[in-house]
Structure 1
Amino acid sequence: MRTTVKLLGTGLLLLAVTACGAATSGAGAPAASSTGPETPTTSASPPVSGSPTIAPPPSQTVGRPTQGIAPGDDAIAETQIDARTLPEGYPRTLVRSVDGKTLTLQAEEGGCRRVSAHVGEQTAQQVSVLIAVTAAKKGQMCPDYIREITIPLALAEPLGTRTVVLRQG
């Protein structure tokens, strides 16, 4: 019985190694045949060597980018952001739109961690932004991923030289 199990295990191992070797060396790949006539392509652009390029759906190419800073926007200077009361690990990166009436909070979330934000009190000297970060309950299993998100925050008036105060909330 032991000999049969050992032989079967060795055979499966040999089969797996052979299959992996064939996959990486190109063995077993179909050879190109030149026996039949080639059909002309009706593509408007000439084929490019390498893998084919597939254009993303229009919904992903229209509008503002999902990562980074949109053209025309600018990052708000750290001297204009007051995040002293914000707990460690909370997002602190803000971007101002071209017209100054929209702030965008850039953050990372993933697994069971979620980030949300909204504009609080707005005065002539400062704008308050309340940020909430929720995490998983103790013992809860969460998927292992991180993604960059942007949260748009509409202001009543352009930011100008006002200070942005980030608070937990």
Structure 2
Amino acid sequence: MAAEAIDLSQLPRGYPKKVWTQDNGTAVVATGQEGGCSKVHAEVAEQTADHVKILLVEETPDPPGICTMDLRYPPVAVSLSAPLEGRKVVLEQKDVKVPR
């Protein structure tokens, strides 16, 4: 995937920036970031003729409880309704609290 086809400007500083496609362009995979008790997953927020917006959602339990202090970088994937082809991928990151 060409670098100009990816908009990473909405990701926090230091966030992983690896993105690729699978399944003939119908799946987009990005490297997420999670740590301690949090878990990351990806969601398609928007699909248009010129771009696909993907949210990397980090869910943290509330209250957090006892958690390790490690960082993990798992791949997270989304399925598209049509192959990516020439559309731009826009990545955004969001933190959410989830009840324990």
TM-score, with length taken from structure 1: 0.47
Tell me if structure 2 keeps the 8 A contact 1:107–1:150.
yes
Aligned residue in 1 for 2:24: 99
| Equivalent residue in structure 1 for 2:48, among 104, 113, 123 | 123
AA of the residue aligned to 1:153: V
Larger Rg over CA atoms: 1
Q: 1:115-135: per-residue Cα shift (whole Å, max 9, x none)?
A: 222011111100010122245
Of 113, 123, 137, the residue aligned with 2:38 is 113
Identity %: 34
Moved beyond 3 Å, runs of 4+: 134-137, 144-148
CA contact under 8 A between 1:136 and 1:142: conserved in structure 2?
no
The count of corresponding residues between Structure 1 and Structure 2 is 94
Does the 8 Å CA contact 1:120/1:129 hold for their aligned counterparts?
A: yes
* Correspondences of 1:66-85 after superposition (within 5 Å): 76-85=1-10
Shift of 1:95: 1.3
Distance in 2 (CA, whole Å) between partners of 1:78 and 1:109 is 24
User: How large is the RMSD of aligned CA atoms in angstroms?
Assistant: 2.6
5+ residue gaps in structure 2?
Answer: 95-100
1:163 aligns with 2:88: yes
Q: Secondary structure at the match of 1:92?
A: coil
Q: Is the 8 A contact 1:90 1:133 kept in 2?
A: no
Q: Which structure's residues are more often strand, by fraction?
A: 2
Do the aligned partners of 2:15 and 2:33 also contact (CA within 8 Å) in 1?
A: no
CA drift of 1:158 comes to 0.6
Deviation at 1:141, TM superposition (A): 4.1
Deviations 1:55-83 (A, max 9, x none): xxxxxxxxxxxxxxxxxxxxx23211112
Say whether residues 1:153 and 2:78 are aligned partners: yes
Rounded Cα–Cα distance in structure 2 between residues aligned with 1:145 and 1:167: 22
Is the 1:109–1:148 contact (alpha carbons within 8 Å) kept by the matching residues of 2? yes
| Post-superposition CA distance 1:83-122 (Å, at most 9, x none) | 2122224343211014100011222433123222201111
SS in 1 for 2:32: strand
- RCO (CA 8 Å, sep 6+): is it higher in 1 or 2? 2
